[in-house]
Amino acid sequence: MTDHMERVVALSKRRGFVFPSSEIYGGLQATYDYGPAGVELKRLIKDDWWRDMVREREDVVGLDASILMAARVWEVSGHVAGFNDPMVDCKTCKGRFREDKLEGSVCLKKKGKTPLECGGELTEPRLFNLMFKTKAGPIDEDAATIYLRPETAQGIFVNFKNVMDSTRVKIPFGVAQQGKAFRNEIVTGGQIFRMREFEQMEMEFFCAPGTDEEWHEYWQAERLRWWQDLGVRKAKLRIRPHGKDELAHYARGCGDIEYEYPWGWDEVEGVANRGDYDLSHHQEGSGRGLAYRDDEKKAWVVPYVIEPSGGVDRCFLTVLCDAYEEEVKPNGETRTVLHLHPKLAPTQVAIFPLVKKLGMPEKAQEIYADLKTRFRCLYDQAGSIGKRYARNDEVGTPFCVTVDGDSIEDGTVTVRHRDSLEQERVPAENLAAYLGDAMAAWTRE
Ligand code: GAP
């Protein structure tokens, strides 16, 4: 892990964003828990995606399919046969590594070396399926083997007809879903970047064959716009088209949205053209018609699918990495700050009395009670004002409001801006409007 990444990970634990799972028992590799600040940020990311992808669109509806599905789904979708990573074993250190990631792997015995450099003897590559198997049913021997879903997408494909029959949607339209997915990843790491249990936000956009390339372009541009609207810096985002040799078994084309992480450019979201691969296979596998009636062609047609597919956790890490900064203040001190977009800040306004006497706590509580109905607020009277500011900088609170002696006299309060460190006196009765305007005007270079 790079130094920068280590500091982001340390802050995420220190401030209650992300904890290693089962930590008191030594942890479980590649699984993480979200703390009080983290669960809030994660919800805000998911809500923003849902607003943008479903609520504010007339051509996309939502779905929440189950994690456990008939095993047949995964046979027909090609995941049982094709969702594999090529693995090699080292006969010397007994490690098992992904063949395509040998350069980034570490020998189990010679820690500074990759399996290509340590001199160990590697086996020929063998395919390793990434799906977790489990049993459904009370009696172990008779129970059916099923899988934990490795992508949410198949829940949408198998419900295509249900959605068509129960709503007024017409091609082209999309079905969006958020939910957990599971992969028995061989190479994990980058904290929540690659985990075995993670959450996806996916949308399958069904369109007429022949219009798919145009929609593919459209959705790549739309998704990049969403990432920028989230406050992630434009210069740190790019779209990289997949080479033919990298395409997943179902894809005709794919553009990855990539972010420049501390370790380099890496995928945050894929926007794939899945053609009619999934619906055609499920139509054949289930014997149920999964086509729509094309009135112009006077024929039944299996639609093509464009799929923007992002990871919630990977988005969370991207937002955190992008917001994190260690800054030298005008007085020479260093501060750690998260420049989160105010719409994503777990706390938007922190309200403090300068001291715990002279009517200041009462006045600050009054302001807190008023503002908390409009913003995510926190009241804090513990510790020095400097420490309270520093704590809130680290958790990304964009505005701190301090009630002091003058507030009791003239009804004004100090608003401190996280990013510029500017402080302004604002009449308490104008606070809500002032903060609303400042949040709406937020930008970042
Ligand atoms: N339905 C298509 C699909 O699942 P994918 O590229 O395998 O495509 C989509 O996954 C997104 O899910 C990725 O861009 C990434 O953000 C997230 N993702 C995939 N595997 C992950 C893992 N092991 N841990 C965290 N996020 C993951």
Residue ID of nearest Cα to ligand 1 atom 25: 194
Q: How many helices (H) and strands (E) does the chain have?
A: 13, 23
**Which amino acids bring their CB within 6 angstroms of ligand 1?**
151, 153, 183, 185, 194-195, 198, 200, 202, 267-270, 307, 309-311, 313-314
Residue ID of nearest Cα to ligand 1 atom 24: 194
Atom number of ligand 1 nearest to Cα 195: 24
Alpha carbons 397 and 395: distance in angstroms, whole number: 6
| 418 and 298 housed in the same domain | no
Query: What pLDDT does 146 receive?
Result: 95
Q: Is residue 143 part of a domain?
A: no
DSSP 112-156: TS-TTTS-PPBPPPEEEE-PPEEEESSSTTTPEEEEB-S-SHHHH
Query: What pLDDT does 400 receive?
Result: 98
Q: Is residue 132 part of a domain?
A: no
Helix (H) / strand (E) element for 31: namely: none
Alpha carbons 215 and 172: distance in angstroms, whole number: 9
Q: Is residue 216 part of a domain?
A: yes
Owner of token pair 């990298």: 246
Alpha carbons 332 and 310: distance in angstroms, whole number: 40
| 307 and 173 housed in the same domain | yes
Atom number of ligand 1 nearest to Cα 200: 12
Query: What pLDDT does 370 receive?
Result: 97
Using 50 as the pLDDT threshold, list the residues of the chain that sit under it: none
- DSSP annotation of 243 reads P
| 58 and 155 housed in the same domain | yes
Domain end point (choices 253, 286, 320): 320
Mutate to test the pocket of ligand 1, among 98, 132, 183, 200 (most ligand atoms within 8 A of CB): 200
Domain end point (choices 294, 320, 346): 320
| 353 and 305 housed in the same domain | no
Residue 126 in tokens: 């063998």
Atom number of ligand 1 nearest to Cα 185: 23
Q: Is residue 128 part of a domain?
A: no
Query: What pLDDT does 381 receive?
Result: 97
| 35 and 156 housed in the same domain | yes
Residue 31 in tokens: 């699984």
| 157 and 303 housed in the same domain | yes
Whether 313 and 404 have beta carbons less than 8 Å apart is answered as no
| 241 and 168 housed in the same domain | yes
Query: What pLDDT does 297 receive?
Result: 94
Whether 396 and 418 have beta carbons less than 8 Å apart is answered as yes
Query: What pLDDT does 93 receive?
Result: 85
Q: Kindly give the distance from the C-alpha atom of residue 238 to the centroid of ligand 1, in angstroms, as a whole number.
A: 17
Number of structural domains found in the chain: 2
Query: What pLDDT does 87 receive?
Result: 84
Mutate to test the pocket of ligand 1, among 309, 315, 317 (most ligand atoms within 8 A of CB): 309
Query: What pLDDT does 187 receive?
Result: 75
Domain end point (choices 320, 349, 384): 320
Query: What pLDDT does 2 receive?
Result: 80
Packing angle of the helix pair 431-440, 360-371 (nearest 10 deg): 50
86-117 confidence digits (pLDDT tens): 888 888 887 888 888 898 888 888 888 999 99
| 51 and 196 housed in the same domain | yes
Domain CATH code at residue 23: 3.30.930.10
Alpha carbons 408 and 405: distance in angstroms, whole number: 6
Q: Is residue 95 part of a domain?
A: no
Q: How many CB atoms lie within 10 A of CB 328?
A: 9
Domain CATH code at residue 401: 3.40.50.800
| 244 and 196 housed in the same domain | yes
Q: Is residue 126 part of a domain?
A: no
Q: Is residue 11 part of a domain?
A: yes
Helix, strand, coil % over all residues of the chain, rounded to 5: 35, 30, 35
Read off the pTM.
Answer: 0.93
Q: Is residue 28 part of a domain?
A: yes
| 199 and 308 housed in the same domain | yes
| 339 and 430 housed in the same domain | yes
Give the residue numbers spanning the domain of 41: 3-75+149-320
| 173 and 238 housed in the same domain | yes
Range list of β-strands (E), 165-247: 173-182, 197-207, 237-241
Query: What pLDDT does 435 receive?
Result: 98
Q: Kindly give the distance from the C-alpha atom of residue 200 to the centroid of ligand 1, in angstroms, as a whole number.
A: 7
Alpha carbons 156 and 171: distance in angstroms, whole number: 15
420-441 confidence digits (pLDDT tens): 999 999 999 999 999 999 999 9
Alpha carbons 270 and 265: distance in angstroms, whole number: 14
